[in-house]
Structure 1
Amino acid sequence: MLETTQIKQRLPFIDLIRGMTIIEMISYHFLWDLVYLYNADIPWYKSHGAYIWQQSICWTFILLAGFSWHLGKKHMKRGLWAFGGGVVVSLVTAIVLSNDRVRFGVLTLIGSCILIWILLDKVLKKIPAGVGVSVSFVLFLILRSWTKQDPIQLSDNLLNVTWLKSVLAYIGFLQTGFSSTDYFPLLPWIFLFATGYFLYSFLQEKGLINRLFGKGKVPGINFLGKHSLIIYMIHQPICYVVAFLVSEIF
């Protein structure tokens, strides 16, 4: 049954989840700065547990981005802002942290997915939501395992063309010499975005959107969730400075 009550354009619990994830992200990046820029001795940070923590942050952001597609109308503006933010991050890190630059990071991915969905939305609406959630998530898991364990290395004279190698890396086909400290190509991550997209439709069909996400306000945290993009853009320089001060003091 379709949900008969009007769905709020802002769902407080979604902002709360996003705000809590922003706090986790800031904490993770602060520790990254301490460990990799200022040589702090934090063995746990290089453990499998820290990797799971990092992945949970990224998964949450991408799922919420797909889920939130349905909550706004200015998709072109949102997509361009996110993609543009990703370009800025890439340029700044290339200048300031040439050995630890970000290429095709999470903002580039989210912006790309939003823009791609402008073309796909009408077609994807015809797919049953339950099928969409299941198929998207299974494809994500399969492709994630494949790209992680055995990234494709293509060899051809054309791959000497720099822009072509970048396009392949953007899609998800790794090439020799490519590196990025925050790498989220379209494959497999576009299918995690799709999972969030279909999850919203599935819960809406069950009449659960407002019931699950209509309440949940925590002052400060919801604010972070509402302004996640700008906070993402400004948090890293602040983390650099604070990490520097901490390293100098301790």
Structure 2
Amino acid sequence: YCMAACTLLYAATAPLLNRFPAAAGLISCLVLFAATYTLPHTTYPVEGLAWLGFPSASFVSGDYYPLLPNVFLYLAGAFAARWFDGHHASGYPMWMMNANVPFLSMIGKLSLPIYLVHQPLLILIFTMVSSM
């Protein structure tokens, strides 16, 4: 949910965000992320706003990534990408372009099978370890 919501918000506000200098936007978003980081670690006396970052005392989740503060981290990434794009011809720092790590290349080519296998494998391992 959070990634999709952040992408939708970015797409809707991109014309406005593109008016800001990339470095200023990056720094601003990092400061806002730090300033709002503790919001979802507190409980609030209102129901139904956990998705935004204001969980109630009755809210429970094992996988909780609210919009606040995570939207600011997402936008910081967008500003950083624009900043890199303005500083490097390819959009990436040169050290990223020159890296040739065969092991990482192999993992990249097998990312879908690794993704599909890792969760059931971890569940099996943790089930076996916890039953000992």
TM more than 0.5: yes
Mind listing any 5+ residue stretches in structure 2 that lack a counterpart? none
| Residue in structure 2 matching 1:122, options 15, 18, 21 | 15
Q: In the aligned structure 2, how far is the partner of 1:177 from the partner of 1:123?
A: 37
Residue 206 in 1 paired to residue 82 in 2?
no
Judged with a 3 Å threshold, the aligned counterparts in structure 2 of structure 1 residues 152 and 245 are, in CA distance, closer, same or farther, namely closer
Q: In the aligned structure 1, how far is the partner of 2:76 from the partner of 2:12?
A: 17
Q: In the aligned structure 1, how far is the partner of 2:15 from the partner of 2:95?
A: 26
Aligned to 2:52: 171
Number of equivalences: 130
Shift, 1:232, TM fit: 4.5
Q: Which residues in structure 2 correspond to 1:77-156 (within 5 Å)? A: 108-148=1-41, 151-155=42-46
Q: In the aligned structure 1, how far is the partner of 2:10 from the partner of 2:113?
A: 22
Aligned to 1:46: none
Please list the CA deviations of residues 106-149 of structure 1 after superposition, one character each: whole Å capped at 9, or x if unmatched: xx22222223222222321221001100100000000003443x
Aligned to 2:119: 236
Judged with a 3 Å threshold, the aligned counterparts in structure 2 of structure 1 residues 246 and 184 are, in CA distance, closer, same or farther, namely same
Question: What code does the residue aligned with 2:98 have?
Answer: K
With structure 2 as the length reference, what TM-score do the two structures score?
A: 0.78
Q: In the aligned structure 2, how far is the partner of 1:212 from the partner of 1:196?
A: 18
Question: What code does the residue aligned with 1:181 have?
Answer: G
Please list the CA deviations of residues 174-229 of structure 1 after superposition, one character each: whole Å capped at 9, or x if unmatched: 11211122211000011011111111111222226241322324334345456767
| Residue in structure 1 matching 2:101, options 200, 208, 218 | 218
Contact kept? 2:39, 2:54, Cα under 8 Å: no
Q: Alpha carbon RMSD of aligned pairs, Å?
A: 2.7
Shift, 1:241, TM fit: 1.3
Using the aligned pairs only, state the percent identity. 29
Query: What SS does the corresponding residue of 2:51 show, helix, strand or coil?
Result: helix
Higher relative contact order (CA 8 A, sep 6+): 1
Structure with the largest fraction of helix: 1
Mind listing any 5+ residue stretches in structure 1 that lack a counterpart? 1-107, 160-164
Q: In the aligned structure 2, how far is the partner of 1:247 from the partner of 1:152?
A: 32
